[in-house]
Amino acid sequence: MSPQSTIENGGLPASLQSQASPVDDPQITIGGRVLPTRYFLAPLAGYTQLPFRTVIRNLGGLGLATTDLVLASQLLSGSKKSRELIATSPDDRPLSVQIFSGHTDELVRAARHLERAGFECIDINMGCPMAKVNSQGGGARLMCNADNARDTVARVVDAVKIPVTVKIRLGWDRESISAPILAREFELVGAAAITVHGRTRQQGFHGTVNLDAIRATVEAVKEIPVVGNGDVRTAKDALAMRRITGCDAVAIGRGALIDPWIFKRIERVTQGNTEPFEPTVDEKVDFLQNHFRAMFVHRGIYSCVLFRKFAGWYGSRLGIPEELEDRLRRFESTCEFDQIVKQIRLRHGERKTSVPTALVKLPNGPVERW
Ligand SMILES: Cc1cc2nc3c(=O)[nH]c(=O)nc-3n(C[C@H](O)[C@H](O)[C@H](O)COP(=O)(O)O)c2cc1C
């Protein structure tokens, strides 16, 4: 993504964040797979690759991670990019691979390919708002034709033995909220779970999530889990999402970039631990260092470029002085990275650690590139 705009990022409205957490089984089963928690990492193209998933898992509390969206045709041709996107490790479990295409045949073949390669779950993207994807009939465009969408899911489900899930938005625009109907249709043809981002394609990333429409989607399905998604930034938000919508699980995307400890915080709260939790300075700086090192193992020197975009998300929560955050956006070598980290350790405390409440970078509207 090239961040082109910013919008306010306050999480869910304060009036919705109150009190009680849903008390229930911490585990959830999707397609026969038992997942350790009900709080998942939502796919974020350009971010949620193996290094990030690994360091987030190591902090605890994560139930399931999903890869960035992978173009089915690229997967089938074995492109370098698609191999990087599905790179994984034995510890990187539970994992789902998200695929997208406007061509059902490609999705079917990609699903078989992934099953043969040993992956345990496939997620079909029906939420991507990118013009490039939608114009080929993929992403959110698939939601515009219910019959076609249902047939697509049915064919992928029939093609493999592993569970197939679907990630959708509420619909194309305000006038066509199709998520509840589609979720039920997908359930009938064998989808193992549905994730619903509570915005329409038209909204892009603007406006607020529509919790009522997520709730309507939850109520439309009979058996399978529905995963609520959108604007969850704190443990309170996550519990409010579950309480208000009745969803079985919650997927968190940007909230994990803003606060990598969000899954651990949720786990603590759901276990009844009300003591405030704050990682130590060393834990914060170690996290930064571990993420870069994990990236370096996979991407070598190019990590110096790839890591830069994380700086803006991490800076505030990790308490990185602004001038050093700025240097993290521009560094060119591992040596320079090490110098910056050394400085962060020395100067930590100059910037007050906080959860950013505004100006988080986002793709601009539904038609831009990530
Ligand atoms: C930079 C960026 C990349 C994204 N990439 C994907 C993707 O690859 N697949 C997908 O289904 N959704 C993608 N999304 C949407 C997120 O998974 C999620 O639905 C959305 O950001 C709302 O949740 P959040 O407020 O927790 O981030 C992306 C969002 C952002 C901001």
Q: Is 124 in the pocket of ligand 1 (CB under 6 A)?
A: no
Q: What is the pLDDT of residue 306?
A: 96
Question: pLDDT at position 23, please?
Answer: 54
Q: What is the pLDDT of residue 163?
A: 98
For position 5, what pLDDT does the model report?
A: 28
Q: Is the CB of 259 under 6 A from ligand 1?
A: no
Query: Is residue 220 lining ligand 1, measured as CB closer than 6 Å?
Result: no
Mutate to test the pocket of ligand 1, among 98, 247, 254, 257 (most ligand atoms within 8 A of CB): 254
Q: Answer whether 50 contacts ligand 1 (Cβ < 6 A).
A: no
Residue nearest to atom 21 of ligand 1 (CA): 253
Residue closest via CA to ligand 1's atom 22 equals 230
- 342 alpha carbon to ligand 1 midpoint, in Å? 32
pLDDT at 367: 40
138 Cβ below 6 A of ligand 1: no
pTM of the model: 0.92
C-alpha 187 – ligand 1 centre gap (Å): 23
Please say whether the dihedral angle defined by the alpha carbons of residues 48, 51, 54 and 58, taken in this order, is positive or negative. negative
> Is 253 a pocket residue for ligand 1 (Cβ < 6 Å)?
yes
User: Which of helix, strand or coil describes residue 68?
Assistant: coil
Q: What is the pLDDT of residue 161?
A: 98
Nearest to residue 165, comparing CAs of 119, 231, 232, 117?
A: 119
pLDDT value at position 1? 31
pLDDT of residue 25: 86
68 alpha carbon – ligand 1 mean position (Å): 9
Alpha helices (H) in the chain, listed in sequence order: 50-59, 72-77, 80-86, 104-116, 131-134, 146-159, 179-188, 211-220, 235-245, 254-258, 262-270, 281-299, 303-306, 308-317, 322-328, 334-347
Kindly report, residue by residue over 144-179, the tens digit of the pLDDT.
888 999 999 999 999 999 999 999 999 989 999 999
The owner of tokens 């309507």 is: 216
φ, ψ (nearest 5 deg) of residue 282: -60, -40
Nearest partner of 252 among 274, 275, 234, judged by Cα: 234
pLDDT of 14: 62
pLDDT score at 6: 31
Q: Which residues contact 145 (CB under 8 A, 6 or more apart)?
A: none
Q: Respond yes or no: is residue 121 known to be catalytic.
A: no
Q: Ligand 1: which of 39, 101, 169, 197 to mutate, most ligand atoms within 8 Å of CB?
A: 197
Out of 121, 128, 247, 304, pick the active-site residue. Answer: 128
Please tell me the predicted confidence (pLDDT) of residue 136: 73
pLDDT the model gives residue 7: 30
CATH for 24-270, among 3.40.50.970, 1.25.60.10, 3.20.20.70, 3.40.50.1100?
3.20.20.70
230 C-alpha to ligand 1 centroid (Å) = 9
Residue 255 CA: which ligand 1 atom is closest? 26
Residue nearest to atom 18 of ligand 1 (CA): 253
Q: Quote the pLDDT of residue 135.
A: 77
Which residue numbers in the chain have pLDDT < 50?
A: 1-9, 19-21, 357-360, 363-370
